[in-house]
Structure formats: C-alpha cells, structure tokens
Amino acid sequence: MVTFRYGRDQRVVKHVNPDYYQMQSEPELLRTLAESEDDVKNGRIAPIKGSFDDLCASLLERKDG
C-alpha cells in the first residue's frame, strides 16, 4: 500500500506473513545451537543436579554468613 503525505509517497506494510517471524527467529536459534555445541566440545557443561546442588549450597552460605 502506498499513501501520499506532503507530496511524498509513504510505504506502509499492513500485513506481515507469519512465516516472516519464523524466518527472523531461525538464525538466532542456529547461533544458540552452535554456541551450545561449542560448550559441549570444550567441556563447559556440568550435570544439572550438581549445578543446582552447588547453587543451593551457595545460597545457604549467603543466608547463614
């Protein structure tokens, strides 16, 4: 759609295809996956149970300290 204001055309997008939003989010998802794979390859991961145990212990130390 083209409208005119002050003698100039102003282009307006009235409807965006829903696929556009998916296309916009896919590169971000791919970057996140690549970063995750890099973390795994470089040993920057830990089991979730151990991570939560460490977090709980740290919070309890702050509370008691």
What are 14's two structure tokens? Answer: 């009235």
Side-chain-side CA neighbours of residue 1 (13 Å): 6
User: Residue 3 has what pLDDT?
Assistant: 54
Predicted confidence (pLDDT) per residue in 5-52, tens digit: 666 666 666 667 778 778 888 999 999 999 999 999 999 888 888 888
Residues 57-63 have a mean pLDDT of 91
**Closest of 18, 20, 2 to residue 10, by C-alpha:** 2
* Strand (E) or helix (H) holding 5: strand 2-5
pTM over 0.75, yes/no: no
User: Residue 11 has what pLDDT?
Assistant: 66
What are 59's two structure tokens? Answer: 């919070």
